[in-house]
């Protein structure tokens, strides 16, 4: 928590000593964007432990969880792709390979008792991004980007659960973790999203079929609404009532997962059904903008965003950028939001001891005293993606993508929620506390968006 004293002192320090080091961007000057992004990336990597003595490759320091590291490496791919700066290519590649785990499916042993479907998905999304952007491929004895994305897809799809609610993924993979009885949007929307991207990359119809199945299921239990003008993505539902009570928090990253998934399907299938849906999720995203400045509406207004939630806008900005590339009809609206938000975010990156630490409230004049890994990548992604239309669209295996994979990647591993491992009491308690804290802060921190 940021105390008032801490906040005031930092604000004073920022104003007096650090204005000279603040991030500055001019949207039509690529050099200024590259320079700003380099500064923000420096601040991001201040939290990286993998290059420190005793640190684990791929991991960020406490309190940042493993899943968010997957999010950050996805942002580092964007950094390389959009600026062309290859300084961190090796670091990013090493992280993505090291955390792939022994089975090359992003269930590394260290996470294997606490990992949820959504956690695994965020690393899978980094992997499919690496394939689509032609991020330098790992050595031939190492897992390849496409393979990793397919392994994540296959292992997630194998957990599809028809025992309750007519289908869907549970939030948790393991029965001992709190949240096992919750079917949430982020897990299911991520499966939809990864399937849509694999469909377009590989041209394999099975992925389209899966994407349609997940989307239709989410619609059938009202986890998502699919209508003009309000197409929303809600948080999730307990299986206890057969998913009839929808928990209606709305998060930017959930909206973005569905939005971009629709855009990939629109681009791949050419069906107006998907173009229409893309437009609806795009237009409905206006609930996350205040005067065109992106904010995490469900928690930011009362300063209750937790560490996870403070990074959601980064993925949303990335997914909006992809959508603008894939569905031209969205470009005016998306780039108008992106431009305004990028400028607002950049001026907030003017605090801390380095003089360019990013804050949370981009409507605030200058840095607002907040700082963290999420604040850094939120600003990074929205600033980078202001340039996305000058870059190539995501590649496919027919248009320049060189990554290789396998349709049955990951499928030799046992479906983990069917045959849970034996875990010790200690691990179990740890996992329970962790999810309880998350669950509690979700409740405290969120307000319903009543419209
Ligand atoms: C573009 O931005 C760079 C870095 O901020 C600056 O040095 C340069 O003068 C700018 N160029 C123009 C044409 O404004
Ligand atoms: C590339 O990134 C590094 C590290 O952020 C930075 O020091 C360097 O100036 C960047 N190069 C260019 C050309 O922007
Ligand atoms: C990355 O690593 C390779 C081999 O380890 C090396 O040749 C290359 O120069 C490195 N690239 C950068 C940008 O550091
Ligand atoms: C797992 O944890 C151990 C102990 O902290 C560490 O040495 C190892 O590098 C970690 N492996 C992965 C893949 O994170
Ligand atoms: C639970 O919901 C699913 C999907 O809406 C439905 O098909 C199923 O019949 C319901 N089961 C019960 C017991 O109500
Ligand atoms: C979709 O349209 C594009 C451009 O018109 C075309 O190249 C592509 O083959 C079409 N895809 C399908 C699946 O029809
Ligand atoms: C898409 O939207 C257009 C314009 O609103 C409408 O005419 C068309 O029927 C829609 N197509 C589908 C498949 O929903
Ligand atoms: C929206 O931004 C304006 C200033 O631009 C501010 O007065 C207002 O409080 C902001 N609303 C929220 C919900 O943050
Ligand atoms: C963000 O800053 C604006 C402008 O100072 C202010 O009006 C608004 O209340 C702030 N938002 C929050 C959530 O504090
Ligand atoms: C975003 O900013 C760029 C650079 O100034 C400009 O070319 C573009 O037209 C802007 N886009 C929108 C939709 O405002
Ligand atoms: C298509 O994907 C499915 C699901 O991963 C896989 O089982 C199948 O082998 C793939 N087909 C081809 C031709 O790669």
Could you read off the pLDDT of 90-132 as tens digits, one per residue? 999 999 999 999 999 999 999 999 999 999 999 999 999 999 9
Q: What is the pLDDT of residues 424-435, one digit of tens each?
A: 433 433 333 333
From the CA of 273, how far away is ligand 6's center (Å)? 15
Here the tokens at position 353 are 């001891």
Q: Is 417 in the pocket of ligand 7 (CB under 6 A)?
A: no
Q: How far is CA 394 from its chain centroid?
A: 17
Domain ranges, ordered by start, for the chain: 4-420
Atom of ligand 3 nearest to the CA of 87: 13
pLDDT tens column, 1-52: 556 767 777 666 656 555 678 999 999 999 999 999 999 999 999 999 999 9
Separation of alpha carbons 94 and 446, rounded Å: 36
Which CA distances in Å does 408 have to 201, 253, 442? 16, 28, 36
Chain-centroid distance, C-alpha 420 = 27
Cis peptide before 86 (omega within 30 of 0): no
Give the count of alpha carbons within 13 A of 254, CB side only: 25
> Taking the model in full, what pTM does it have?
0.91
Mean pLDDT of 386-400: 98
Given a cut of 60, whether residue 64 has pLDDT beyond it is yes
DSSP 3-state assignment of 172? strand
pLDDT greater at residue 7 or residue 281 = 281
Report the chain's mean pLDDT, rounded to a whole number. Answer: 91
Q: Sheet containing 236-238: which strands, arranged edge to edge?
A: 182-184, 236-238, 246-247
Q: Is 32 in the pocket of ligand 1 (CB under 6 A)?
A: yes
State the average pLDDT over residues 190-216.
98
CA distances from 448 to 152, 188, 237, 400, 445 (A): 32, 21, 15, 44, 10
Q: Which of 384, 273, 279 is nearest to 334 (CA)?
A: 279
- Write the burial class of residue 412 (CB in 10 Å: 0-12 exposed, 13-18 middle, 19+ buried): exposed
CA distance 302 to 281: 25
Identify the residues whose C-beta falls under 6 Å from ligand 3. Answer: 86-87, 89-90
Nearest-CA residue for ligand 9 atom 4 is: 364
pLDDT in tens, 155-165: 999 999 999 99
Residue partners of 142: CB distance under 8 A and separation at least 6: 97
Cβ of 347 less than 6 Å from ligand 9: no
3-class DSSP state of 289: strand
pLDDT band at 445 (very low <50, low <70, confident <90, very high): very low
For residue 94, CA distances in Å to 56, 99, 100, 136, 164 come to 11, 9, 10, 11, 39
Q: Which CATH class is domain 4-420?
A: mainly alpha
């Amino acid at each position: 928590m940021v105390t008032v004293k801490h906040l005031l002192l930092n604000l004073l320090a920022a104003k007096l000593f650090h204005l000279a080091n603040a991030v500055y961007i001019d949207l039509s000057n690529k050099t200024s964007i590259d320079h700003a992004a380099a500064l923000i990336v420096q601040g991001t990597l201040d939290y990286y432990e993998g290059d420190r003595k005793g640190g684990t490759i791929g991991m960020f320091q406490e309190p940042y969880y493993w899943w968010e590291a997957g999010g950050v490496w996805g942002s580092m791919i964007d950094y390389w792709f959009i600026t062309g700066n290859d300084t961190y290519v090796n670091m990013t590649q090493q992280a993505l390979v090291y955390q792939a785990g022994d089975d090359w499916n992003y269930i590394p042993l260290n996470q294997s008792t606490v990992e949820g479907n959504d956690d695994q998905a965020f690393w899978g999304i980094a992997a499919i991004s690496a394939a689509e952007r032609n991020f330098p491929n790992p050595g031939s004895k190492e897992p390849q980007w496409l393979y990793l994305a397919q392994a994540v897809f296959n292992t997630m799809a194998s957990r599809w659960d028809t025992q309750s609610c007519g289908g869907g993924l549970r939030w948790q993979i393991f029965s001992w973790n709190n949240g096992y009885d919750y079917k949430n949007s982020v897990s299911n929307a991520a499966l939809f999203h990864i399937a849509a991207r694999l469909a377009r990359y590989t041209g394999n119809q099975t992925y389209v079929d899966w994407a349609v199945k997940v989307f239709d299921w989410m619609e059938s239990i009202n986890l998502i609404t699919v209508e003009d003008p309000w197409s929303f993505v809600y948080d999730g539902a307990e299986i206890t009532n057969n998913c009839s009570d929808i928990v209606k928090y709305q998060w930017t990253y959930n909206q973005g997962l569905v939005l971009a998934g629709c855009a990939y399907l629109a681009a791949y299938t050419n069906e107006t059904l998907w173009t229409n849906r893309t437009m609806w999720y795009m237009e409905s995203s206006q609930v996350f903008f205040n005067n065109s400045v992106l904010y995490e509406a469900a928690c930011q207004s009362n300063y209750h965003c937790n560490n996870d939630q403070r990074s959601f806008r980064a993925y949303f900005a990335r997914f909006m950028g992809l959508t603008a590339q894939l569905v031209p009809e969205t470009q005016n609206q998306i780039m108008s939001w992106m431009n305004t938000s990028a400028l607002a975010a950049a001026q907030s990156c003017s605090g801390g001891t380095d003089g360019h630490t990013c804050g949370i409230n981009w409507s605030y004049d200058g840095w607002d005293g907040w700082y963290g890994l999420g604040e850094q990548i939120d600003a990074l992604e929205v600033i980078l993606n202001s340039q996305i239309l000058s870059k190539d669209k995501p590649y496919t295996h027919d248009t320049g993508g060189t990554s290789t994979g396998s349709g049955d990647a990951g499928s030799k591993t046992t479906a983990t929620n069917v045959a849970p491992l034996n875990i010790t009491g200690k691990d179990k308690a740890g996992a329970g506390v962790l999810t309880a804290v998350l669950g509690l802060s979700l409740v405290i921190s969120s307000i319903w968006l009543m419209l």
